[in-house]
Structure 1
Amino acid sequence: MREIRTFELEHGEPAAAWRAAQPLVVKVMAGEIWLTVEGDAEDYWLASGESFRLPRGAMAWISAGRNGARVALAFEEASVRVPARSRLVGARALPGWFPRWLRTA
């Protein structure tokens, strides 16, 4: 069994800064997000149905596209391999109840 959390992001909100305490898969359930990862020269636009793997310790900033977004976060299982998506371009502060396995920066 694995834990999955779903978040709704509104367009125009400040970017969320997330640090992955363990490997995570970010999946866009609706809308689109902009994602950038510390140390990665590229920015990514992910649309509904697309996923991105965040390795342990990765610092990422995520923001919603024009129509907002719904994003699911899940622990990466050893048998699940999600390639890092790449689509070019260009994050949001989360509340204190955010799960400890995904630490806010």
Structure 2
Amino acid sequence: MREISSSITFEIVAGETVPMKVTRSTRLAVSGGAVWVTRSDDVEDYWLEPGKTLRLRRGERLWLSVERGTQARVAFLVPTRPQQKALNWFARVGERLAAWLRSGWRTV
């Protein structure tokens, strides 16, 4: 497995089985080729085509592989936490209130 960037995106090549442990609830997104996903505590296996996603549970284990002669990229997308969304909203409201109090003047 070759890491693509400093984010959580990886390239999987044919003949490789990649074991993973999910530490936070995330979403697995696939691009470039189809990925075979086996999950712990699940009797089903998943065949994800490019563009498809799969929601992952914290603490589960995964085994990822691709078809012979192909490769694929997988990305683990971490959703924004509700607390972070609330903080962002309060920050935007605070900026608008400050701009209104300054009557449009910017401080330098």
The Cα shift of 1:74 comes to 1.6
Structure with a larger share of its residues in helix: 2
Give the equivalent residue in structure 1 for 2:27.
25
Bigger share in strand: 1
CA displacement at 1:77 relative to structure 2: 3.3
Asked which structure has the greater CA Rg, the reply is 2
CA RMSD of aligned residues (A): 1.7
Q: Identity of paired residues, percent?
A: 36
| Number of residue-to-residue matches in the alignment | 76
Structure 1 stretches of at least 4 aligned residues deviating more than 6 Å after TM superposition: none
Contact 1:4–1:75 (CA under 8 A) maintained in structure 2 = no
- Following superposition, the deviation at residue 5 of structure 1 comes to 2.0
Who is 1:39 aligned against? Answer: 41
Aligned position for 2:77:
74
Unaligned runs of 5+ in 2: 1-5, 83-108
Q: Which runs of 5+ in 1 are unaligned?
A: 80-105
Compute the TM-score of the two structures, normalised by the length of structure 2. Answer: 0.64
1:4–1:74 Cα contact (<8 Å) kept: no
Q: What is the aligned counterpart of 1:64 among 57, 63, 66?
A: 66
How does the TM-score come out when normalised to structure 1?
0.65
Deviations 1:62-89 (A, max 9, x none): 112231111111213357xxxxxxxxxx
Cα distance, 1:4 vs. partner? 4.5
**AA matched with 1:71:** V
- Give the one of 46, 51, 55 matched to 1:49: 51
